[in-house]
Amino acid sequence: MQDIFNEITQDFRYDHELNGCLNCGICTATCPSAHFYDYSPREIVQLLWTENVEQVYNAMQEKIWACAQCMTCAARCPFRNSPGGLVMIMREVAIKHGFESAKQVLRPFGRVMLKLITTGNQLSPDMIQPDAFPDWGPNIQKVEGDLQTLRNAIPVKTLQTVETAWEVSLKTSVEMYTIWEMTGVLSSLETMDENLYDVIEDFIDEKREDYEDWLEEQEED
């Protein structure tokens, strides 16, 4: 628990994000998440400022995931604290150490990650279906059956497809994987979802082989 706290405070951004606290509560009063969840940016700042190791650890089990990262708190704080920035550090530490709370929060994004890896796009129209968005309301049923027709009527061509928004070149894909490897994204994924990591690793290996073959073909020509 102490090691987790030390890792947060030793982050190079920590001193920039936490300068002190007047306990004025402006951050919480203007925080959208605080209106709907058991979350208070002031509490996060106070826990870190007072070095309450146990409560910081407890907050990482659930509360930090309620932050919307809108950074309204940082814009309002008279002490120039950034509770949202501190939450980001805490989240990264939680992911690095494989907290169960992080796995639960990130699990729904697995398909988005796979889509990004395989196509180079985060989202394609086939992922936007009424069943996944119940908050659209009952009127969505009136257009559900004609979604493809409606998509074809959209002037932006990339929104008309159902598989990918645009084509990503092989070279760009390989460069993207390299960036993810060097920045630790893939190692974080291995901690969070080992099965998805294995699938993506196999896909990356295949893409790199294709790219090497393409380079050899270019040299021969």
Q: Which residue type sits at 66?
A: A
Q: Residue 154 region, left (φ>0) first, then alpha (ψ -120 to 50), else beta? A: beta
CA angle, residues 27, 29, 30, in degrees to nearest 5: 70
Count the Cβ atoms, other than its own, within 10 Å of residue 178. 12
Q: Do 78 and 24 meet the contact criterion of CB atoms below 8 Å apart?
A: yes
Mean predicted confidence (pLDDT) in 148-164:
66
Question: How confident is the model at residue 73, as a pLDDT?
Answer: 93
> pLDDT grade, residue 118 (50/70/90)?
confident
Place of tokens 């968005």: 133
> Token pair for residue 127?
């992922």
> pLDDT grade, residue 84 (50/70/90)?
very high
pLDDT at 172 over 80: yes
> pLDDT grade, residue 104 (50/70/90)?
confident
> pLDDT grade, residue 19 (50/70/90)?
very high
Q: Which residue type sits at 4?
A: I
pLDDT at 164 over 60: no
103 or 145: which leads in pLDDT: 103
- In sign, the C-alpha dihedral spanning 98, 116, 107, 72 is positive
pTM of the entire structure?
A: 0.72
CA angle, residues 35, 110, 169, in degrees to nearest 5: 120
Question: How confident is the model at residue 125, as a pLDDT?
Answer: 60
